[in-house]
């Protein structure tokens, strides 16, 4: 059975909503300490209010799309405040459906900033051996099934997630000799705030077991963060009810 202790600290980005909130609450329920990162303080506080052990949730408001190159220093500053980290769950992200005729360099940049550049630089900060617990540390990144199969209108989103999956596999192989693992979890439609936007392109009847829920993804993320998955790295797990 998976359990953690309060000395095992995890950075969870996107912890104010959806999958990130689910991951933060489940980690906390299983005994870990969570450094919860997102922009919206009210929603972060609401998440903390739902936690089983609220004393082990630490709210860190931050816009991860700003000053991206400095994110490794940001991770270092969190380490100095809280101590070394056992794991990073990068669940922040934005959706976006735009037909190719409306795609501009700036619209691609906006999606890539939070969906690609920020996770790469957060992983860079986490991978610094001064910031993690060494052997057994784990990074899990929320990518998307859209990163392996593009649907109409998803040039930017699918591009950001496909690039993310490819880069994380490279980072995983780079960090494997240090026993630090890196995996992606790639859902299709999950019922969150983001899904309202994405849902327009995916018919509900497409899923033989119904729409996915946050817990379906959060449990996979927790497994990949935990010691129980200690020989698993450089993988991209598609959570899709068999649709792709
Ligand atoms: N839901 C789905 O159907 C689905 C499917 C495939 C993949 N995914 C991926 O799963 C991840 C989580 O999605 P979700 O459905 O949970 O979305 P969500 O409910 O919209 O949550 C997104 C989270 O990202 C945070 N965020 C966005 N921009 C940020 C920024 N600039 N700086 C810091 N935090 C930021 C938001 O917090 P604030 O607004 O408070 O900053 C929020 O906590 C995303 O990477 C998404 O692409 C989701």
Q: Tell me the domain boundaries of the chain.
A: 9-238
Among 63-77, 157-171, 202-216, which is the least confidently predicted range? 202-216
For the chain, the average pLDDT equals: 96
The count of residues in the chain is 244
- Cα angle 125, 178, 14; round to 5: 35
Given a cut of 80, is residue 239 above it in pLDDT?
A: yes
What pLDDT is recorded for position 201?
59
Of 158, 150, 153, the residue nearest 97 (C-alpha):
153
φ, ψ at 53 (rounded to 5°): -125, 75
Query: Are 150 and 161 contacting, i.e. CB atoms less than 8 angstroms apart?
Result: no
Given a cut of 80, is residue 31 above it in pLDDT?
A: yes
**Which residue is listed with tokens 């946050």?**
214
Among 1-10, 110-119, 187-196, which is the least confidently predicted range? 187-196
* Cβ of 217 less than 6 Å from ligand 1: no
User: Is residue 169 helix, strand or coil?
Assistant: helix
Q: How many helices (H) and strands (E) does the chain have?
A: 8, 7
Given a cut of 90, is residue 194 above it in pLDDT?
A: no
- Beta strands (DSSP E) in 99-198 are 138-142, 181-187
* Cβ of 40 less than 6 Å from ligand 1: yes
| Residue among 74, 90, 157, 237 flagged as catalytic | 157
Query: Model-level pTM?
Result: 0.98
Percent of the chain with pLDDT over 90: 90
Mean pLDDT, rounded, for 198-206:
65
Mean pLDDT, rounded, for 160-183:
98
Given a cut of 90, is residue 70 above it in pLDDT?
A: yes
Helices assigned H by DSSP within 66-117: 71-82, 105-112
* Cβ of 160 less than 6 Å from ligand 1: no
Neighbours of 14 (CB within 10 A): 27
Of 196, 238, 164, 185, the residue nearest 17 (C-alpha):
196
* Cβ of 17 less than 6 Å from ligand 1: yes
Percent of the chain with pLDDT over 70: 97
Among 157-161, 182-186, 203-207, which is the least confidently predicted range? 203-207
Torsion sign across C-alpha atoms 74, 76, 51, 20: positive
Given a cut of 70, is residue 183 above it in pLDDT?
A: yes
Strand pairing category for 138-142 and 33-38: unpaired
3: DSSP letter: -
> Where does residue 130 rank: exposed (0-12), middle (13-18), buried (19+ CB within 10 A)?
exposed
What pLDDT is recorded for position 58?
99
Longest dimension (CA), the chain: 51
Q: State the distance from the centre of ligand 1 to the C-alpha of 177, rounded, in angstroms.
A: 31
Torsion sign across C-alpha atoms 71, 184, 23, 93: positive
Q: Could you tell me the pLDDT band of residue 197, with boundaries at 50, 70 and 90?
A: low
User: Which residue's CA is the nearest one to ligand 1's atom 8?
Assistant: 144
Strand pairing category for 87-90 and 57-61: unpaired
Q: From 3.40.50.300, 1.10.520.10, 3.40.50.720, 3.40.640.10, which CATH number describes the 9-238 domain?
A: 3.40.50.720
Given a cut of 90, is residue 168 above it in pLDDT?
A: yes
Q: Could you tell me the pLDDT band of residue 210, with boundaries at 50, 70 and 90?
A: confident
Of 29, 14, 7, 92, the residue nearest 222 (C-alpha):
29
Neighbours of 71 (CB within 10 A): 22
Mean pLDDT, rounded, for 158-187:
98
Whether 207 sits among the annotated catalytic residues: the reply is no
User: Which residue's CA is the nearest one to ligand 1's atom 26?
Assistant: 92
* Cβ of 66 less than 6 Å from ligand 1: no
């Amino acid at each position: 059975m998976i359990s953690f202790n309060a000395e095992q600290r995890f950075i969870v980005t996107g912890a104010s909503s959806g999958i990130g909130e689910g991951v933060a609450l489940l980690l906390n329920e299983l005994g870990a300490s969570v450094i919860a990162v997102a922009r919206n303080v009210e929603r972060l506080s609401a998440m903390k209010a739902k936690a089983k052990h609220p004393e082990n949730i630490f709210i860190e408001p931050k816009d991860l799309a700003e000053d991206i190159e400095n994110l490794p220093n940001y991770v270092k500053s969190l380490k100095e405040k809280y101590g070394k980290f056992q794991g990073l769950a990068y669940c922040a992200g934005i959706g976006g459906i735009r037909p190719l005729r409306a795609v501009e360099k700036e619209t691609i940049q906006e999606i890539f900033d939070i969906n690609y550049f920020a996770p790469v630089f957060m992983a860079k900060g986490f991978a610094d051996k001064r910031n993690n617990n060494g052997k057994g540390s784990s990074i899990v990144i929320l990518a998307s099934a859209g990163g392996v199969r593009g649907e109409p209108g998803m040039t930017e989103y699918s591009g950001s997630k496909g690039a993310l999956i490819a880069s994380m596999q490279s980072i995983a192989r780079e960090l494997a000799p240090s026993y630090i693992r890196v995996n992606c979890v790639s859902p299709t439609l999950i019922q969150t705030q983001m899904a309202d936007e994405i849902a327009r392109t995916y018919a509900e009847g497409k899923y033989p077991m119904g729409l996915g829920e946050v817990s379906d993804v959060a449990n996979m993320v927790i497994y990949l963060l935990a010691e129980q998955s200690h020989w698993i790295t450089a993988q991209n797990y598609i959570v899709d009810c068999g649709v792709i």
